[in-house]
């Protein structure tokens, strides 16, 4: 599929019509190429659970093809409950193939302090995925230090 078509479908994801967003997410998920990952990550934050589900299934099919974008979205927007729910579905499926990298993020998503812990765990896993090193292990004191420096709210 052409880049223009993928861009058009991705743009449709921000529309007001739920059915149109659902169709766009379904089409992107069906393409199965890494180029659709940005759109699927966008759809993962949709307010509608069925759209998030389709986007999650598309990201699962991409495996590592959308993982860095997903981790980046979590590190930037951990406050978005829909994104956290969708990401949980994706990571629950992908963790078996990437346990060292993804387990801390999955645990953070399941934590009572999901926003703060997810932000830190996702940023750590993203850095590890980009640099090929093991994710950081951060404790509550580390999170408070990052907060005091203004890196997280």
Sorted by where each begins, the domain ranges of the chain are 3-148
Segment 2-15, tens digit of pLDDT: 899 999 999 999 99
pLDDT value of residue 43: 96
Which residues have CB under 8 Å from 143's CB, separation 6+? 116, 117, 120, 152
Distance CA 132, CA 9 (A): 32
Distance CA 137, CA 119 (A): 13
Report the mean per-residue pLDDT for the chain.
86
Encoding tokens for residue 71?
């981790």
Is 0.85 topped by the overall pTM?
A: no
Most confident of 18-22, 63-67, 93-97: 18-22
């Amino acid at each position: 599929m052409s880049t223009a078509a993928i861009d058009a479908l991705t743009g449709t994801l921000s529309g007001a019509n739920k059915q149109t967003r659902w169709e766009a997410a379904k089409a992107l998920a069906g393409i199965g190429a890494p180029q659709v990952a940005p759109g699927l990550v966008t759809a993962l934050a949709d307010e509608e659970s069925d759209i998030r589900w389709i986007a999650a299934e598309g990201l699962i099919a991409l495996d590592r093809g959308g993982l860095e974008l997903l981790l980046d979205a979590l590190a930037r927007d951990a406050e978005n409950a829909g994104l956290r729910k969708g990401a949980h579905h994706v990571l629950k499926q992908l963790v078996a193939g990437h346990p060292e990298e993804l387990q801390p993020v999955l645990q953070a998503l399941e934590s009572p302090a999901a926003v703060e812990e997810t932000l830190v765990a996702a940023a750590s896993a993203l850095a590890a995925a980009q640099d090929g090193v093991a994710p950081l292990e951060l404790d509550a004191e580390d999170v408070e230090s990052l907060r005091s420096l203004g890196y997280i709210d």
